[in-house]
Amino acid sequence: MSNEKLLAYKELYSKYIDYAVILHNYHYTFLNHMGLETGKTVRSALKHMIRLERQLQKASWEAYDEHRENLREQKRLKKQAQEYRKLHPLKRGRKPKNGNNNSTTSKTV
């Protein structure tokens, strides 16, 4: 079971949040100081966000598929352990004193 794709998704999500903060700052600057350069930075940040959003959607599906595979593997291992327990049950009862638990033998004096 691996979590590589989930970690990649988390990394992309943190980048997405960083760009959201950058976009907010650029947009705030654009609203306070209208100009060509501030508008250009807002559009650039939006393009980066859109690109990251597409990558994030793809990574999300990959992480979901990986998670489903991990769940299937866990279920298979649990079933395998149950089958093993069924074939090899735990020994119950008293332990023999002399290491001999044969009830058919009788003591001879």
Q: What is the pLDDT along the chain (109 residues), one digit of tens a residue?
A: 788 999 999 999 999 999 999 999 998 988 888 888 888 989 999 999 999 999 999 999 999 999 999 999 999 999 999 999 888 888 887 777 776 655 555 555 5
Determine phi and psi for 49, rounding to 5 degrees: -65, -45
Evaluate whether residue 29 is within a structural domain. Answer: yes
Q: What angle do CA 79, 81, 87 make, to 5 degrees?
A: 105
Domain containing residue 71? 4-87
Which pLDDT belongs to residue 1? 72
CA-derived radius of gyration, the chain: 32
Does residue 102 sit within a domain? no
Residue 107 lies in a domain: no
Q: Is residue 96 situated within a structural domain?
A: no
Whole-number Å distance between alpha carbons of 40 and 73 = 49
Instruction: Give the residue carrying structure tokens 């489903």.
Output: 68
**Interatomic CA distance for residues 62 and 68, integer angstroms:** 10
Among candidate residues 92, 85, 109, the one with its CA nearest the CA of residue 101 = 92
* Number of domains forming the structure of the chain: 1
